[in-house]
Amino acid sequence: MVALDQIQLIEFRGNLFPEWMELRQKVLREPLGLAYSDADIDAEADQWHLCGFKDGKLIAGLILLPKASVIKMRQVAVHPDFQGKGVGSQLVRSAEELAIELGGDRMVLHARESAVSFYRNLGYDVSREAFIEIGLPHFRMDKSLE
Ligand X SMILES: CC(C)(COP(=O)(O)OP(=O)(O)OC[C@H]1O[C@@H](n2cnc3c(N)ncnc32)[C@H](O)[C@@H]1OP(=O)(O)O)[C@@H](O)C(=O)NCCC(=O)NCCS
Instruction: List residues binding ligand X (CB under 6 A).
Output: 27-28, 76-78, 83-89, 111-112, 114-115, 117-118, 121
User: Minimum CB separation from ligand X for residue 80, in Å?
Assistant: 8
CB closer to ligand X out of 1 and 146: 1
User: Minimum CB separation from ligand X for residue 30, in Å?
Assistant: 11
Q: 36-44 contacts: CB < 8 A, separation 24 or more?
A: 44/12
* CB closest to ligand X, residue no: 88
Cβ(126)–Cβ(120) under 8 Å?
yes
Q: DSSP assignment of 94-110, as one string?
A: HHHHHHHHTT-SEEEEE
User: Minimum CB separation from ligand X for residue 76, in Å?
Assistant: 5
Phi, psi of 20 (to 5 degrees): -65, -40
